[in-house]
Amino acid sequence: MAVRTETVQFHTCDLCGQDSEEAGLVRLYGALQSGRRAQADVCPACQQRPIAELVAWLDSKQRETALRPLRSLRGVGR
């Protein structure tokens, strides 16, 4: 019995969420205040938008993925 595996890739703009051809997206890199690197794939239409929107998007992603301190768990390890 033969097995065939297919890989499907979806390419979307990180700002507007529209599907796009991979060749049409531009990958932008930046450094966040936390010192981590960030990246965003941006479609041609969004490349015409103000850079402030991209910076705000990257900032929101930094807040979403920031490590949060663990809450103390009572009774663990006892």
Q: Mind listing the pLDDT tens digit for each residue in 4-32?
A: 999 888 888 888 888 888 888 888 877 66
Q: Give pTM, 2 decimals.
A: 0.57
pLDDT of residue 32: 62
pLDDT attached to residue 16: 87
pLDDT in tens, 29-67: 776 666 667 788 888 888 888 888 877 877 777 666 555
Stated as kind and residue range, the H or E segment containing 63 is helix 51-65
35 phi/psi in degrees, rounded to 5: 95, -10
Residue holding tokens 């991979």?
Answer: 22
How far apart are alpha carbons 58 and 41 in whole angstroms?
A: 11
Q: What is the mean pLDDT of the chain?
A: 76
Tracing tokens 């768990």 back to the chain, one arrives at 73
